[in-house]
Amino acid sequence: VPTLSLRGVSKRFPTGTTALTGVDLDVTPGEFVSVVGPSGCGKSTLLRLASGLDGVTGGEIDVAATTTSYVFQDATLLEWRSALKNVELAGELRGVPRSERRAAAQAALDLVGLTGFEKQHPRQLSGGMRMRVSIARALVAEPDLALFDEPFGALDEITRLRMQTELQRLFELKRFAGLFITHSVSEAVYLSTRVVVMSGRPGRIVDEVEVPWAYPR
- Which stretches of the chain bind ligand ADP, using CB under 6 A? 13, 15, 17, 19, 37, 39-45, 124-129, 159
For residues 108 and 100, give the distance between their C-alpha atoms in angstroms, rounded to a whole number: 12
For ligand ADP, the closer of residues 39 and 99 by Cβ is 39
Give least dist CB 9 to ligand ADP, A.
Answer: 13
Separation of first and last alpha carbons in the chain: 17
For ligand ADP, the closer of residues 101 and 152 by Cβ is 152
Give least dist CB 212 to ligand ADP, A.
Answer: 27
For ligand ADP, the closer of residues 42 and 91 by Cβ is 42
Give least dist CB 125 to ligand ADP, A.
Answer: 5
For ligand ADP, the closer of residues 45 and 91 by Cβ is 45
CB-closest chain residue to ligand ADP: 128
Residue 46: exposure state from Cβ atoms within 10 A (0-12, 13-18, ≥19): buried
- Long-range CB pairs of 102-107, under 8 A, 24+ apart, other chains included: 104/140, 105/136, 105/140, 107/140
CB 155 within 8 A of CB 135: no
